[in-house]
Structure 1
Protein backbone atom coordinates (compact mmCIF):
# COMPACT_ATOMS: atom_id res chain seq x y z
CA UNK A 1 0.00 0.00 0.00
CA UNK A 2 1.07 3.58 -0.66
CA UNK A 3 1.84 5.36 2.63
CA UNK A 4 0.63 8.71 1.29
CA UNK A 5 2.45 11.90 2.13
CA UNK A 6 2.42 15.30 3.80
CA UNK A 7 3.91 18.32 2.05
CA UNK A 8 4.23 19.44 -1.57
CA UNK A 9 2.07 17.51 -4.05
CA UNK A 10 4.76 17.05 -6.67
CA UNK A 11 8.01 15.14 -6.13
CA UNK A 12 9.65 15.70 -9.53
CA UNK A 13 9.96 18.44 -12.12
CA UNK A 14 11.74 18.68 -15.45
CA UNK A 15 12.86 22.23 -14.43
CA UNK A 16 11.63 23.74 -17.70
CA UNK A 17 9.88 27.07 -18.10
CA UNK A 18 6.44 27.99 -19.40
CA UNK A 19 4.51 25.39 -21.41
CA UNK A 20 7.44 22.93 -21.30
CA UNK A 21 7.18 22.57 -17.52
CA UNK A 22 6.21 19.13 -16.23
CA UNK A 23 5.50 18.40 -12.55
CA UNK A 24 4.60 14.91 -11.30
CA UNK A 25 4.35 12.84 -8.15
CA UNK A 26 6.80 10.10 -9.16
CA UNK A 27 8.33 9.18 -5.83
CA UNK A 28 6.32 7.11 -3.36
CA UNK A 29 6.81 4.95 -0.29
CA UNK A 30 5.15 1.56 -0.06
CA UNK A 31 4.60 -0.86 2.81
CA UNK A 32 2.82 -4.13 3.39
CA UNK A 33 0.24 -4.77 6.13
CA UNK A 34 2.74 -6.46 8.47
CA UNK A 35 5.06 -3.44 8.36
CA UNK A 36 2.10 -1.08 8.83
CA UNK A 37 1.06 -3.04 11.95
CA UNK A 38 4.53 -2.48 13.42
CA UNK A 39 4.62 1.24 12.53
CA UNK A 40 0.97 2.40 12.51
CA UNK A 41 1.85 6.10 12.95
CA UNK A 42 4.50 6.22 10.23
CA UNK A 43 4.16 9.00 7.71
CA UNK A 44 6.03 10.35 4.73
CA UNK A 45 7.00 14.02 4.60
CA UNK A 46 7.87 15.47 1.20
CA UNK A 47 10.57 18.13 1.57
CA UNK A 48 10.87 21.04 -0.83
CA UNK A 49 13.13 20.64 -3.86
CA UNK A 50 16.29 22.72 -3.67
CA UNK A 51 19.08 21.72 -6.03
CA UNK A 52 17.65 18.45 -7.36
CA UNK A 53 14.73 17.81 -9.69
CA UNK A 54 13.43 15.27 -7.12
CA UNK A 55 12.07 16.07 -3.69
CA UNK A 56 13.43 14.31 -0.60
CA UNK A 57 11.01 11.90 1.08
CA UNK A 58 11.45 11.60 4.84
CA UNK A 59 10.01 8.59 6.66
CA UNK A 60 8.90 9.52 10.19
CA UNK A 61 8.16 6.37 12.17
CA UNK A 62 6.65 8.02 15.25
CA UNK A 63 4.35 10.51 13.53
CA UNK A 64 4.75 14.25 13.64
CA UNK A 65 3.39 14.85 17.17
CA UNK A 66 5.37 12.25 19.12
CA UNK A 67 8.91 13.03 18.06
CA UNK A 68 11.12 14.00 20.94
CA UNK A 69 12.51 17.49 20.93
CA UNK A 70 16.25 17.36 20.54
CA UNK A 71 18.73 19.76 22.03
CA UNK A 72 20.08 22.04 19.36
CA UNK A 73 23.63 21.21 18.37
CA UNK A 74 26.17 23.99 18.11
CA UNK A 75 27.42 24.36 14.56
CA UNK A 76 30.46 26.53 13.94
CA UNK A 77 30.64 28.24 10.56
CA UNK A 78 34.14 29.06 9.34
CA UNK A 79 32.93 32.27 7.66
CA UNK A 80 32.32 33.80 11.10
CA UNK A 81 36.05 34.27 11.77
CA UNK A 82 36.17 36.90 9.00
CA UNK A 83 33.22 38.90 10.31
CA UNK A 84 33.55 42.06 12.39
CA UNK A 85 33.21 41.46 16.11
CA UNK A 86 33.76 37.71 16.08
CA UNK A 87 37.36 37.72 17.26
CA UNK A 88 36.58 40.05 20.18
CA UNK A 89 33.66 37.87 21.31
CA UNK A 90 35.79 34.73 21.08
CA UNK A 91 38.82 36.16 22.89
CA UNK A 92 36.71 37.67 25.68
CA UNK A 93 35.02 34.31 26.28
CA UNK A 94 38.28 32.36 26.05
CA UNK A 95 40.27 34.62 28.37
CA UNK A 96 37.53 35.32 30.91
CA UNK A 97 37.90 32.20 33.07
CA UNK A 98 39.93 31.42 36.14
CA UNK A 99 43.00 29.26 35.72
CA UNK A 100 42.11 27.00 38.65
CA UNK A 101 41.51 23.26 38.47
CA UNK A 102 42.39 20.44 36.12
CA UNK A 103 43.66 21.39 32.64
CA UNK A 104 40.94 19.37 30.89
CA UNK A 105 38.25 20.90 33.08
CA UNK A 106 39.56 24.38 32.21
CA UNK A 107 39.50 23.52 28.51
CA UNK A 108 35.91 22.23 28.77
CA UNK A 109 34.81 25.39 30.58
CA UNK A 110 36.54 27.61 28.01
CA UNK A 111 34.90 25.77 25.13
CA UNK A 112 31.46 25.95 26.78
CA UNK A 113 31.90 29.68 27.43
CA UNK A 114 33.01 30.26 23.82
CA UNK A 115 30.06 28.29 22.48
CA UNK A 116 27.57 30.32 24.53
CA UNK A 117 29.18 33.67 23.64
CA UNK A 118 29.43 32.86 19.92
CA UNK A 119 25.80 31.66 19.88
CA UNK A 120 24.61 34.94 21.42
CA UNK A 121 26.80 36.95 19.01
CA UNK A 122 25.49 34.97 16.02
CA UNK A 123 21.89 35.65 17.11
CA UNK A 124 22.55 39.39 17.36
CA UNK A 125 24.44 39.63 14.08
CA UNK A 126 22.64 37.11 11.89
CA UNK A 127 19.24 36.76 13.53
CA UNK A 128 17.60 33.39 13.34
CA UNK A 129 19.14 31.41 10.49
CA UNK A 130 16.68 28.58 11.05
CA UNK A 131 13.74 31.00 10.77
CA UNK A 132 15.10 32.34 7.47
CA UNK A 133 15.56 28.80 6.16
CA UNK A 134 12.02 27.83 7.20
CA UNK A 135 10.61 30.91 5.49
CA UNK A 136 12.43 30.08 2.24
CA UNK A 137 11.34 26.43 2.46
CA UNK A 138 7.74 27.53 2.98
CA UNK A 139 7.96 29.83 -0.05
CA UNK A 140 9.38 26.98 -2.15
CA UNK A 141 6.72 24.62 -0.80
CA UNK A 142 3.95 26.99 -1.87
CA UNK A 143 5.44 27.58 -5.32
CA UNK A 144 6.17 23.91 -6.00
CA UNK A 145 2.72 22.80 -4.89
CA UNK A 146 0.72 25.21 -7.01
CA UNK A 147 -1.02 24.04 -10.18
CA UNK A 148 0.03 27.03 -12.29
CA UNK A 149 3.25 27.48 -14.22
CA UNK A 150 6.28 28.30 -12.15
CA UNK A 151 8.19 31.50 -12.55
CA UNK A 152 11.46 29.65 -13.14
CA UNK A 153 13.67 32.66 -12.43
CA UNK A 154 12.00 33.32 -9.08
CA UNK A 155 12.18 29.65 -8.10
CA UNK A 156 15.87 29.46 -8.96
CA UNK A 157 16.50 32.59 -6.88
CA UNK A 158 14.70 31.07 -3.88
CA UNK A 159 16.63 27.80 -4.34
CA UNK A 160 19.95 29.67 -4.53
CA UNK A 161 19.11 31.64 -1.39
CA UNK A 162 18.25 28.42 0.40
CA UNK A 163 21.47 26.74 -0.75
CA UNK A 164 23.59 29.66 0.47
Structure 2
Protein backbone atom coordinates (compact mmCIF):
# COMPACT_ATOMS: atom_id res chain seq x y z
CA UNK A 1 0.00 0.00 0.00
CA UNK A 2 1.24 3.46 -0.93
CA UNK A 3 -0.99 5.71 1.22
CA UNK A 4 -2.68 5.59 4.61
CA UNK A 5 -4.91 7.65 6.89
CA UNK A 6 -6.42 7.03 10.32
CA UNK A 7 -9.26 8.57 12.32
CA UNK A 8 -8.76 10.71 15.49
CA UNK A 9 -8.87 7.82 17.99
CA UNK A 10 -6.72 5.55 15.78
CA UNK A 11 -9.33 2.78 15.62
CA UNK A 12 -9.94 3.02 11.85
CA UNK A 13 -7.08 2.81 9.36
CA UNK A 14 -7.54 3.20 5.61
CA UNK A 15 -4.83 2.10 3.15
CA UNK A 16 -4.83 2.44 -0.65
CA UNK A 17 -2.48 2.03 -3.59
CA UNK A 18 -1.58 4.63 -6.20
CA UNK A 19 -4.15 3.05 -8.52
CA UNK A 20 -6.70 4.92 -6.40
CA UNK A 21 -7.16 8.62 -5.83
CA UNK A 22 -8.73 9.08 -2.41
CA UNK A 23 -9.98 12.45 -1.24
CA UNK A 24 -10.81 12.21 2.49
CA UNK A 25 -14.02 14.17 3.07
CA UNK A 26 -14.50 13.61 6.79
CA UNK A 27 -13.08 11.69 9.74
CA UNK A 28 -14.31 11.33 13.31
CA UNK A 29 -14.25 8.72 16.07
CA UNK A 30 -16.66 6.39 14.23
CA UNK A 31 -15.96 6.74 10.51
CA UNK A 32 -13.69 7.78 7.67
CA UNK A 33 -15.49 8.92 4.53
CA UNK A 34 -13.62 9.48 1.28
CA UNK A 35 -14.30 10.18 -2.38
CA UNK A 36 -12.55 7.54 -4.47
CA UNK A 37 -11.47 7.23 -8.10
CA UNK A 38 -9.79 4.16 -9.59
CA UNK A 39 -7.81 3.88 -12.81
CA UNK A 40 -9.90 0.88 -13.95
CA UNK A 41 -13.26 2.32 -12.95
CA UNK A 42 -15.34 4.78 -14.91
CA UNK A 43 -17.27 6.16 -11.94
CA UNK A 44 -16.30 8.36 -9.01
CA UNK A 45 -17.82 7.04 -5.78
CA UNK A 46 -17.48 7.56 -2.07
CA UNK A 47 -17.28 5.07 0.78
CA UNK A 48 -17.77 5.43 4.52
CA UNK A 49 -15.63 3.05 6.58
CA UNK A 50 -17.34 2.48 9.92
CA UNK A 51 -16.35 1.37 13.40
CA UNK A 52 -19.43 2.23 15.46
CA UNK A 53 -19.58 2.65 19.22
CA UNK A 54 -21.04 -0.13 21.36
CA UNK A 55 -23.70 1.99 23.09
CA UNK A 56 -26.72 3.10 21.07
CA UNK A 57 -26.63 6.70 22.34
CA UNK A 58 -22.95 6.95 21.33
CA UNK A 59 -23.86 5.84 17.80
CA UNK A 60 -26.36 8.66 17.18
CA UNK A 61 -23.78 11.17 15.84
CA UNK A 62 -22.81 8.50 13.29
CA UNK A 63 -26.44 8.14 12.14
CA UNK A 64 -26.65 11.95 11.78
CA UNK A 65 -23.63 11.91 9.47
CA UNK A 66 -25.27 9.13 7.43
CA UNK A 67 -28.35 11.28 6.97
CA UNK A 68 -26.13 14.10 5.77
CA UNK A 69 -24.24 11.91 3.27
CA UNK A 70 -27.49 10.48 1.89
CA UNK A 71 -28.09 13.80 0.07
CA UNK A 72 -25.06 13.22 -2.16
CA UNK A 73 -25.65 12.52 -5.87
CA UNK A 74 -22.66 10.15 -6.11
CA UNK A 75 -22.70 6.37 -5.60
CA UNK A 76 -22.23 5.77 -1.88
CA UNK A 77 -21.31 2.66 0.11
CA UNK A 78 -21.11 2.46 3.90
CA UNK A 79 -19.25 -0.61 5.15
CA UNK A 80 -17.74 -2.30 8.22
CA UNK A 81 -18.57 -2.79 11.89
CA UNK A 82 -21.91 -1.19 12.91
CA UNK A 83 -21.90 -2.98 16.32
CA UNK A 84 -25.62 -3.71 16.04
CA UNK A 85 -27.72 -6.25 14.15
CA UNK A 86 -30.94 -5.60 12.23
CA UNK A 87 -32.94 -8.74 13.07
CA UNK A 88 -32.98 -11.58 15.59
CA UNK A 89 -31.93 -13.96 12.77
CA UNK A 90 -28.50 -12.25 12.75
CA UNK A 91 -27.64 -13.57 16.21
CA UNK A 92 -26.96 -17.12 17.41
CA UNK A 93 -26.60 -18.05 21.07
CA UNK A 94 -26.85 -16.00 24.25
CA UNK A 95 -29.91 -14.20 25.59
CA UNK A 96 -32.93 -13.42 23.34
CA UNK A 97 -32.28 -10.26 21.35
CA UNK A 98 -34.18 -7.02 22.08
CA UNK A 99 -35.13 -5.42 18.73
CA UNK A 100 -35.40 -1.97 20.35
CA UNK A 101 -31.60 -1.82 20.11
CA UNK A 102 -31.86 -2.00 16.31
CA UNK A 103 -34.56 0.60 15.79
CA UNK A 104 -32.15 3.51 15.18
CA UNK A 105 -30.10 1.62 12.58
CA UNK A 106 -33.15 0.31 10.72
CA UNK A 107 -34.68 3.79 10.68
CA UNK A 108 -31.47 5.30 9.30
CA UNK A 109 -31.23 2.61 6.60
CA UNK A 110 -34.71 3.50 5.36
CA UNK A 111 -34.32 7.26 5.74
CA UNK A 112 -31.03 7.21 3.79
CA UNK A 113 -32.42 4.94 1.06
CA UNK A 114 -29.74 2.31 1.70
CA UNK A 115 -29.79 -1.33 0.61
CA UNK A 116 -27.96 -4.17 2.32
CA UNK A 117 -26.15 -5.89 -0.56
CA UNK A 118 -26.00 -9.22 1.26
CA UNK A 119 -23.00 -11.54 1.33
CA UNK A 120 -21.55 -14.91 0.40
CA UNK A 121 -19.77 -17.13 2.86
CA UNK A 122 -20.64 -17.94 6.44
CA UNK A 123 -23.56 -16.11 8.04
CA UNK A 124 -21.96 -14.34 11.03
CA UNK A 125 -19.06 -11.87 11.13
CA UNK A 126 -18.29 -11.76 14.88
CA UNK A 127 -18.08 -14.19 17.79
CA UNK A 128 -17.23 -13.73 21.45
CA UNK A 129 -14.48 -16.41 21.44
CA UNK A 130 -15.94 -18.24 24.44
CA UNK A 131 -16.63 -21.92 25.05
CA UNK A 132 -19.52 -23.65 23.32
CA UNK A 133 -22.01 -23.11 26.15
CA UNK A 134 -21.42 -19.32 26.26
CA UNK A 135 -20.60 -18.76 22.58
CA UNK A 136 -22.45 -15.97 20.74
CA UNK A 137 -22.36 -15.25 17.01
CA UNK A 138 -23.60 -12.04 15.34
CA UNK A 139 -23.58 -10.37 11.94
CA UNK A 140 -22.20 -7.00 13.05
CA UNK A 141 -20.38 -6.16 9.79
CA UNK A 142 -22.16 -5.35 6.55
CA UNK A 143 -22.09 -3.17 3.45
CA UNK A 144 -24.99 -0.96 2.37
CA UNK A 145 -25.31 1.16 -0.77
CA UNK A 146 -27.60 3.86 -2.14
CA UNK A 147 -29.72 3.66 -5.31
CA UNK A 148 -27.09 5.47 -7.38
CA UNK A 149 -24.57 2.78 -6.49
CA UNK A 150 -27.01 0.02 -7.48
CA UNK A 151 -27.71 1.78 -10.75
CA UNK A 152 -24.04 2.05 -11.75
CA UNK A 153 -22.52 -0.97 -9.98
CA UNK A 154 -25.30 -3.55 -9.43
CA UNK A 155 -22.91 -6.51 -9.33
CA UNK A 156 -21.14 -5.40 -6.16
CA UNK A 157 -20.59 -8.39 -3.86
CA UNK A 158 -19.40 -9.01 -0.30
CA UNK A 159 -17.52 -12.14 0.73
CA UNK A 160 -17.09 -13.09 4.41
CA UNK A 161 -13.49 -14.32 4.70
CA UNK A 162 -12.18 -16.64 7.46
CA UNK A 163 -11.20 -14.98 10.74
CA UNK A 164 -7.48 -14.92 11.58
CA UNK A 165 -6.30 -13.42 14.88
CA UNK A 166 -9.50 -11.43 15.49
CA UNK A 167 -13.03 -11.91 16.79
CA UNK A 168 -14.29 -10.32 13.53
CA UNK A 169 -14.33 -11.87 10.06
CA UNK A 170 -12.85 -9.73 7.24
CA UNK A 171 -15.16 -8.47 4.48
CA UNK A 172 -13.98 -8.51 0.87
CA UNK A 173 -15.93 -6.19 -1.43
CA UNK A 174 -15.77 -6.64 -5.22
CA UNK A 175 -16.97 -3.72 -7.33
CA UNK A 176 -17.91 -4.23 -10.99
CA UNK A 177 -18.93 -1.24 -13.07
CA UNK A 178 -22.14 -1.59 -15.05
CA UNK A 179 -21.36 -0.51 -18.61
CA UNK A 180 -24.73 -1.53 -20.00
CA UNK A 181 -27.79 0.68 -20.15
CA UNK A 182 -30.26 -0.69 -17.64
CA UNK A 183 -33.95 -0.43 -18.43
CA UNK A 184 -35.70 1.51 -15.67
CA UNK A 185 -39.27 0.27 -15.39
CA UNK A 186 -42.20 2.51 -14.56
CA UNK A 187 -43.69 1.92 -11.11
CA UNK A 188 -46.97 3.38 -9.94
CA UNK A 189 -47.90 4.00 -6.30
CA UNK A 190 -51.32 3.07 -4.89
CA UNK A 191 -51.58 6.41 -3.11
CA UNK A 192 -51.69 8.27 -6.44
CA UNK A 193 -55.30 7.29 -7.14
CA UNK A 194 -56.49 8.96 -3.93
CA UNK A 195 -55.04 12.33 -4.94
CA UNK A 196 -57.76 14.75 -6.01
CA UNK A 197 -55.97 15.77 -9.20
CA UNK A 198 -54.92 12.29 -10.35
CA UNK A 199 -57.84 11.38 -12.65
CA UNK A 200 -57.95 14.82 -14.26
CA UNK A 201 -54.22 14.59 -14.98
CA UNK A 202 -54.53 11.12 -16.51
CA UNK A 203 -57.53 12.13 -18.65
CA UNK A 204 -55.88 15.33 -19.90
CA UNK A 205 -52.70 13.45 -20.82
CA UNK A 206 -54.54 10.57 -22.50
CA UNK A 207 -56.88 12.78 -24.50
CA UNK A 208 -54.05 14.64 -26.21
CA UNK A 209 -54.10 13.44 -29.85
CA UNK A 210 -51.45 11.17 -31.34
CA UNK A 211 -51.29 10.43 -35.09
CA UNK A 212 -50.54 6.94 -36.40
CA UNK A 213 -51.94 3.41 -36.52
CA UNK A 214 -53.80 2.15 -33.39
CA UNK A 215 -50.89 0.19 -31.84
CA UNK A 216 -48.46 3.07 -32.36
CA UNK A 217 -50.98 5.48 -30.84
CA UNK A 218 -51.46 3.23 -27.79
CA UNK A 219 -47.70 2.85 -27.29
CA UNK A 220 -47.06 6.58 -27.53
CA UNK A 221 -49.90 7.46 -25.15
CA UNK A 222 -48.68 4.98 -22.52
CA UNK A 223 -45.11 6.26 -22.88
CA UNK A 224 -46.27 9.86 -22.49
CA UNK A 225 -48.50 9.01 -19.51
CA UNK A 226 -45.72 7.23 -17.59
CA UNK A 227 -43.42 10.23 -18.06
CA UNK A 228 -46.17 12.66 -17.00
CA UNK A 229 -47.03 10.66 -13.86
CA UNK A 230 -43.39 10.27 -12.84
CA UNK A 231 -42.78 14.02 -13.02
CA UNK A 232 -46.09 14.74 -11.29
CA UNK A 233 -45.27 12.33 -8.44
CA UNK A 234 -41.90 13.99 -7.81
CA UNK A 235 -43.59 17.38 -7.61
CA UNK A 236 -46.63 16.39 -5.51
CA UNK A 237 -45.15 13.85 -3.10
CA UNK A 238 -41.48 14.90 -2.97
CA UNK A 239 -39.59 12.97 -0.27
CA UNK A 240 -42.38 11.63 1.96
CA UNK A 241 -40.01 10.34 4.66
CA UNK A 242 -38.30 13.73 5.00
CA UNK A 243 -41.65 15.56 5.10
CA UNK A 244 -42.94 13.30 7.91
CA UNK A 245 -39.82 13.99 10.00
CA UNK A 246 -40.16 17.70 9.29
CA UNK A 247 -43.75 17.76 10.57
CA UNK A 248 -42.73 15.76 13.66
CA UNK A 249 -40.26 18.52 14.52
CA UNK A 250 -42.87 21.22 13.85
CA UNK A 251 -45.35 19.52 16.18
CA UNK A 252 -42.80 19.50 19.03
CA UNK A 253 -42.12 23.23 18.60
CA UNK A 254 -45.81 24.25 18.40
CA UNK A 255 -46.77 21.99 21.34
CA UNK A 256 -44.21 23.79 23.50
CA UNK A 257 -45.71 27.12 22.43
CA UNK A 258 -49.23 25.92 23.30
CA UNK A 259 -48.04 24.81 26.74
CA UNK A 260 -46.33 28.15 27.38
CA UNK A 261 -48.84 30.60 25.88
CA UNK A 262 -52.01 28.60 25.10
CA UNK A 263 -53.24 31.13 22.53
CA UNK A 264 -55.98 30.39 20.01
CA UNK A 265 -53.53 31.04 17.20
CA UNK A 266 -51.04 28.44 18.50
CA UNK A 267 -53.84 25.88 19.03
CA UNK A 268 -55.11 26.43 15.47
CA UNK A 269 -51.61 26.09 14.11
CA UNK A 270 -51.10 22.84 16.06
CA UNK A 271 -54.39 21.46 14.72
CA UNK A 272 -53.36 22.26 11.14
CA UNK A 273 -49.86 20.77 11.50
CA UNK A 274 -51.32 17.62 13.09
CA UNK A 275 -53.71 17.23 10.15
CA UNK A 276 -50.86 17.60 7.64
CA UNK A 277 -48.70 15.20 9.63
CA UNK A 278 -51.42 12.51 9.61
CA UNK A 279 -51.92 13.05 5.87
CA UNK A 280 -48.26 12.48 5.00
CA UNK A 281 -47.90 9.69 7.57
CA UNK A 282 -50.67 7.76 5.79
CA UNK A 283 -48.90 8.30 2.48
CA UNK A 284 -45.66 7.03 4.00
CA UNK A 285 -47.40 3.92 5.33
CA UNK A 286 -49.01 3.29 1.95
CA UNK A 287 -45.66 3.54 0.15
CA UNK A 288 -43.91 1.28 2.65
CA UNK A 289 -46.67 -1.31 2.39
CA UNK A 290 -46.33 -1.40 -1.37
CA UNK A 291 -42.52 -1.42 -1.32
CA UNK A 292 -42.15 -4.24 1.19
CA UNK A 293 -45.24 -6.15 -0.03
CA UNK A 294 -46.06 -6.93 3.58
CA UNK A 295 -49.01 -6.39 5.86
CA UNK A 296 -48.45 -4.13 8.84
CA UNK A 297 -47.54 -6.02 12.01
CA UNK A 298 -48.71 -4.65 15.33
CA UNK A 299 -47.18 -6.63 18.16
CA UNK A 300 -44.65 -9.12 19.43
CA UNK A 301 -42.01 -10.73 17.26
CA UNK A 302 -43.90 -9.52 14.18
CA UNK A 303 -42.13 -6.17 14.65
CA UNK A 304 -38.78 -7.91 14.19
CA UNK A 305 -39.90 -9.45 10.90
CA UNK A 306 -41.43 -6.19 9.72
CA UNK A 307 -38.35 -4.04 10.38
CA UNK A 308 -36.08 -6.60 8.77
CA UNK A 309 -38.34 -6.75 5.71
CA UNK A 310 -38.41 -2.96 5.65
CA UNK A 311 -34.64 -2.79 5.56
CA UNK A 312 -34.39 -5.44 2.84
CA UNK A 313 -37.40 -4.09 0.91
CA UNK A 314 -35.34 -2.45 -1.82
CA UNK A 315 -34.58 -5.20 -4.31
CA UNK A 316 -31.52 -5.55 -6.47
CA UNK A 317 -31.59 -6.96 -9.98
CA UNK A 318 -30.40 -10.60 -9.65
CA UNK A 319 -27.26 -11.73 -11.44
CA UNK A 320 -24.92 -14.72 -11.55
CA UNK A 321 -21.64 -13.77 -9.89
CA UNK A 322 -19.89 -17.15 -10.20
CA UNK A 323 -20.70 -20.79 -11.00
CA UNK A 324 -19.18 -24.13 -10.04
CA UNK A 325 -18.24 -26.30 -13.05
CA UNK A 326 -17.57 -29.43 -11.01
CA UNK A 327 -14.71 -30.70 -8.84
CA UNK A 328 -15.10 -27.48 -6.81
CA UNK A 329 -13.78 -25.35 -9.67
CA UNK A 330 -15.39 -21.88 -9.58
CA UNK A 331 -15.65 -19.63 -12.64
CA UNK A 332 -16.12 -15.84 -12.40
CA UNK A 333 -16.64 -13.07 -14.94
CA UNK A 334 -19.47 -12.69 -17.47
CA UNK A 335 -17.45 -14.04 -20.43
CA UNK A 336 -16.09 -17.05 -18.52
CA UNK A 337 -19.52 -17.90 -17.07
CA UNK A 338 -21.13 -17.70 -20.52
CA UNK A 339 -18.42 -19.94 -22.07
CA UNK A 340 -18.68 -22.53 -19.29
CA UNK A 341 -22.47 -22.59 -19.54
CA UNK A 342 -22.43 -23.06 -23.34
CA UNK A 343 -19.83 -25.81 -23.03
CA UNK A 344 -21.90 -27.61 -20.40
CA UNK A 345 -25.10 -27.66 -22.45
CA UNK A 346 -23.28 -28.54 -25.66
CA UNK A 347 -21.92 -31.62 -23.93
CA UNK A 348 -25.18 -32.87 -22.47
CA UNK A 349 -27.14 -32.27 -25.70
CA UNK A 350 -24.60 -33.90 -28.02
CA UNK A 351 -23.96 -37.24 -26.37
CA UNK A 352 -24.63 -39.71 -29.17
CA UNK A 353 -22.84 -42.72 -27.71
CA UNK A 354 -24.22 -42.63 -24.17
CA UNK A 355 -27.51 -44.37 -23.57
CA UNK A 356 -30.03 -42.72 -21.26
CA UNK A 357 -31.02 -44.84 -18.28
CA UNK A 358 -34.82 -44.80 -18.25
CA UNK A 359 -35.21 -46.87 -15.06
CA UNK A 360 -35.69 -43.70 -13.01
CA UNK A 361 -38.83 -42.91 -15.03
CA UNK A 362 -40.54 -45.81 -13.27
CA UNK A 363 -40.58 -43.65 -10.10
CA UNK A 364 -42.90 -41.12 -11.78
CA UNK A 365 -46.60 -42.08 -11.46
CA UNK A 366 -48.74 -42.21 -14.60
CA UNK A 367 -51.27 -39.41 -14.40
CA UNK A 368 -52.55 -39.36 -18.00
CA UNK A 369 -54.86 -42.21 -19.12
CA UNK A 370 -54.49 -43.98 -22.44
Of structures 1 and 2, the one with the larger relative CO (CA 8 A, separation 6+) is: 1
Q: Could you say which structure has the higher strand fraction?
A: 2
TM-score range, shorter chain: 0.3 to 0.5
Larger Rg: 2
TM-score (norm 1): 0.46
